[in-house]
Copies of this chain bind each other. A is one copy, B any other.
């Protein structure tokens, strides 16, 4: 199964099989991994998804549902499924995945589904539903492997084998005391390597990383990435073991956070679903555009204030465009580098200061370089050296402003606790538009008229 790529042939085959009889479809589906079926789902209509989930054995169907992109709405499939099949699938789902899916349903549907489940499962899921979605509690799985501090090596191995019937994958073993309070972790390898007579209390590693249920999911991702952890235990305020978060949950969090960053920096609301329809897209983007329109009037009003300057030298209108546009682009560059740097590592005061200084230097140099080109154009094309001086100064000045705005604004936002990616190009280009126009028109009215 090397570097498996779903291609059009796969899609075609599944689509054909969907028109044929059930046996054929069943045998074709058995060739695919659940996560591959989840990807195929993106390209087939809702009825076909429901049919496939209905046909698949519950343990595969549950995996497909948990691997599906949330944007394709696994909860809708579950909602329309025959209650018997639904119970089977819910039984197979990990608690965290079941919670994610059920949380998307309307309140009365939630209760209906939970009512169909057995009491213990329903209680677990009700419990998980109380944690906010973007916290450790919201993404954790409650099924953990744990052994008591007092066990011997052989007792612990028996216990682990017994517990692992229920839990498919585990990487570290939690060590708890009689009150289910987390004492440390131990690896299966260390247990196996130990002498027969040894107790778990002698093997336990007390230096370990854990998180509280209320910890933000971004912080969890940062810890897992920084300490290269497969698993991080989740505890309550009294250190009672609640669950675990594994690296694969974090990979999903990272992808979601990165999407958010790119969207925000481009002036798209963070909750726009990438594959959402046009109505959602309008709802997410129009407010930003209207804000931008208000700021654009600010820039336009500068030109209206210099009406007579433009009237007397219409060639300026072209250079205005050039200088404002270049400022916008330079600011976007500075912004992207700064925002990305902040999101990978918090910056110390010294680093923040150095960043701003660097961006100002870059702005002035790039401004002078591009200013020199427009200077030459003004001399040779417009035969106007004084105009050349004006556009050179305006370009240099505007890219200087761009460097300051592109670095200072996200850093300031971070300091006051606002996500710096919100300093989207939309906000930042207002600065460079207004200052660009002020510079070129102000200088022109002083030096040229």
Interface positions of A (Cβ within 8 A of B): 1-4, 8, 11, 33, 35, 39, 42-43, 69, 157, 160-161, 164, 169-171, 188-189, 192-193, 207-212, 215, 219, 223-228, 230, 247-248, 250-252, 254-255, 258-259, 261-263, 265-268, 272, 274-275, 277-278, 281-282, 285-286, 288-290, 292-293, 296-297, 299-301, 303-304, 307, 310-311, 314-315, 317-322, 324-326, 328-330, 332-333, 335-337, 339-341, 344-345, 348, 350-351, 358-359, 361-362, 365-366, 369-370, 373-374, 377, 425-426, 429, 433, 437
B164 touches A289 (CB 8 A): no
Q: How far is the CB of A215 from chain B (nearest CB, A)?
A: 6
B321 touches A433 (CB 8 A): yes
Knowing A247-B247, A326-B296, the reply to whether A366 touches B282 (Cβ < 8 A) is yes
One complex includes copies of this chain to the number of 2
- A265 contacts which chain B residues (CB < 8 A)? 262, 266, 336
| Residue in B281, B303, B325 whose CB lies within 8 Å of A318 | B303
A277 touches B358 (CB 8 A): yes
Knowing A210-B2, A248-B225, the reply to whether A425 touches B274 (Cβ < 8 A) is no
Q: How far is the CB of A407 from chain B (nearest CB, A)?
A: 11
- A335 contacts which chain B residues (CB < 8 A)? 266
B211 touches A3 (CB 8 A): yes
B225 touches A1 (CB 8 A): no
Knowing A192-B157, A227-B35, A299-B321, the reply to whether A337 touches B281 (Cβ < 8 A) is yes
| Residue in B261, B293, B300, B337 whose CB lies within 8 Å of A274 | B337
